Chains A and B, each alone.
Chain A
Amino acid sequence: MNSGSVIEIKELSYGYEKETVLEDINLSVPEKAFLGVVGPNGSGKSTLMKLILGLLKPQQGEIYLFGKEIRRFKEWEKIGYVSQKANSFNSGFPATVFEVVASGLTKKLGLFQFFKKKDKVKVMKALESVGMANLSSKNIGELSGGQQQRVFIARALVSDPELLILDEPTVGVDAQNVNSFYQMLGELNKNRGITLLMVTHDIGTISDKVTHIACLNRNLHFHGPAKEFEQLSEGGLSEAYGHDIHLLAHHHDHGGVKR
């Protein structure tokens, strides 16, 4: 067991009913890495993420979190999670930004514990770190998509996680804010040393933002430092993406994937 790995996955396979979604995945995420997991729709990205979060149980293979086998892993407060906002939250929900972020402390505080003054300070600090402190008393539904996503990151940060898992975090964030959003993630990674795992279908924009890339389409087609990924011949990529790679590369002219 590699002690420097936050996540270690060995020969993992998973399928729904008859269809195999993930096959023989081996993946390790070193400490303080910023890993982008990319792949087309239906490539098993979300399934992989749910397995890591313990929402699904592995059918074959093993997952280790912070060196512990996932079934015996108990320290879930070490992991922050930012979901695809559109799927899991009701935008008419009557809660303030502050209340939403405070809910990120639920597991860490434990049953029958109440919020104390120092927890309130933590919430405000988390909001400051994503630049949302001035909106703390607004209802969450009044914010724009990008602002909401920052609030959800603050909710994940408030319990001081060592690993932050993000599922398509830029869905619903308007184009001009995507860059500052990635910049914020980069700072969390560099300045606070948080390991990041981000799942996205957006292969074009991220390769210059992350430190490592895993390219997934049922199998793992590439896994390594982002620099190597940029130099990768298109063979490996089109293996994962099929013909879509042309289309994707043209869509985004940020120069991430050089063809």
Chain B
Amino acid sequence: MIDAIFRYEFLQNAFMTGILIGIIAPLLGVFIVVRRLSLIADALSHVTLAGIAASLLLEKRLMMFNGLNPLYMGMAFSVGGSLFIEKLRAVYKHYQELAIPIILSGGIGLGVIFISLADGFNTDLFSYLFGSVTAVSRTDLWTILIISVSVIAVIILLYKELFLLSFDEEYAKASGLASKSIHFIFIIMVALVIAASMRVVGILLVSSLMTLPVAASIRIANGFKQTIFLSLLFGETAVLGGLTVAYYLNLAPGGTIVMISVAILVGAILYRKSNYGKKAM
């Protein structure tokens, strides 16, 4: 395995990307989960699919789009979708969760139209849906590296603001925090991380990488920093383990990564049961 990584560039790309998204997806995931926004990741990943499909369609129909990395269009759609969600949440003040099915189905609808306009796609589409060990290019890796560095920097710089906003939004507002701007920055980061993770995990399973490691660590962690630390540890384990298994057994890594995450989650639940008895969270 190690040999192969040194020998093949595609494996280097996949593992480096894996290491990066194993950090940023659960890192943002912690804030998403504690703010009870878990489904936003799902909605945005489906919007990203529409962006990917649009990009592939353009590439097929128009010469000038030849060679355009679909990742960029996916990101643009994802960011646009996140802004729509915020708008909808403001419109439906009393039904804020409505924004999610609206954006989710809108994303799939648009994606399906693009796909059928292009008379179906080649094998590419499958790798976008479920991830792939071979699909990550060097430019993907660079883009994802830039996104990762920016996301980690923003989280470190705005850590105390994000914590306060997540823990107690009303108090954050009452203490004069610019909560709207901070939430806006946060949701843009989520959109970018989803687009970045999709090459490895696949669009349909991106949200699981943001939520499952956090769901596991929340069961056993003491305090917020420890929750973050364990989430990163679990996320990284799932991504690296999942990629390795996918490579040897020739499976889609999205599936193997998610199943390892589920195994960790079950382990965390059992661990807590055996240590704390049946005490409720």
Measured CB to CB, the residues of A under 8 A from B are 53-55, 74, 76-77, 79, 81, 83, 87-90, 92-96, 98-100, 102-107, 109, 111-112, 114-115, 137-139, 141, 155
Q: In chain B between 136 and 186, which residues have their CB closer than 8 angstroms to a CB of chain A?
A: 157-158, 160-161, 163-164, 166-177
Q: Could you pull out 29 A-B pairs where Cβ atoms are within 8 angstroms?
A: A54-B174, A74-B176, A76-B174, A76-B176, A79-B175, A83-B168, A83-B170, A87-B170, A92-B218, A93-B34, A93-B167, A94-B34, A94-B221, A94-B222, A95-B167, A95-B224, A96-B222, A96-B223, A98-B223, A99-B163, A99-B225, A106-B164, A106-B172, A106-B175, A106-B177, A112-B157, A115-B160, A138-B222, A141-B281
Q: How many A-B residue pairs have CB under 8 A?
A: 90
A96 contact set on B, CB distance < 8 A: 222-224
B7 within 8 A of partner (CB): no
Task: Point out the residue from B161, B164, B174 that lies within 8 Å of A55, measured CB to CB.
Answer: B174
Contact at A77–B281, with CB atoms within 8 Å?
no
Q: How many residues of B contact A (CB 8 A)?
A: 30
Chain B CB within 10 A, most for which of A87, A95, A105, A141: A95
B94 within 8 A of partner (CB): no
Contact at A139–B175, with CB atoms within 8 Å?
no
Task: Point out the residue from A54, A81, A137, A139 that lies within 8 Å of B171, measured CB to CB.
Answer: A81
Distance in Å: Cβ of B232 to nearest Cβ of chain A: 14
Task: Point out the residue from B160, B167, B225 that lies within 8 Å of A89, measured CB to CB.
Answer: B167
Contact at A94–B157, with CB atoms within 8 Å?
no
Chain A residue with Cβ nearest B221: A94
B36 contact set on A, CB distance < 8 A: 90
Q: A256 CA to B46 CA in the complex, in Å?
A: 61
A105 contact set on B, CB distance < 8 A: 160
Measured CB to CB, the residues of B under 8 A from A are 34, 36, 157-158, 160-161, 163-164, 166-177, 217-218, 221-227, 281
B224 contact set on A, CB distance < 8 A: 93-96, 99
A81 contact set on B, CB distance < 8 A: 171, 174-175
Q: A102 CA to B159 CA in the complex, in Å?
A: 12
Distance in Å: Cβ of B251 to nearest Cβ of chain A: 33
B281 contact set on A, CB distance < 8 A: 92, 141
Chain A residue with Cβ nearest B214: A94
Assuming the A-B contacts A81-B171, A100-B167, are A111 and B161 also in contact, with contact meaning beta carbons closer than 8 angstroms in the complex? Answer: yes
A141 contact set on B, CB distance < 8 A: 281
Q: A87 CA to B36 CA in the complex, in Å?
A: 15
Distance in Å: Cβ of A138 to nearest Cβ of chain B: 8
Distance in Å: Cβ of B229 to nearest Cβ of chain A: 11
A79 contact set on B, CB distance < 8 A: 175
Distance in Å: Cβ of B161 to nearest Cβ of chain A: 6
Distance in Å: Cβ of A116 to nearest Cβ of chain B: 12
Chain B CB within 10 A, most for which of A74, A98, A139: A139
Contact at B223–A139, with CB atoms within 8 Å?
yes
Contact at A77–B157, with CB atoms within 8 Å?
no
Chain B residue with Cβ nearest A108: B175
Identify the 9 closest CB pairs spanning chains A and B, nearest first.
A76-B176, A96-B223, A88-B170, A94-B227, A95-B224, A53-B174, A107-B175, A103-B164, A81-B174
Q: A105 CA to B168 CA in the complex, in Å?
A: 14
B172 contact set on A, CB distance < 8 A: 106
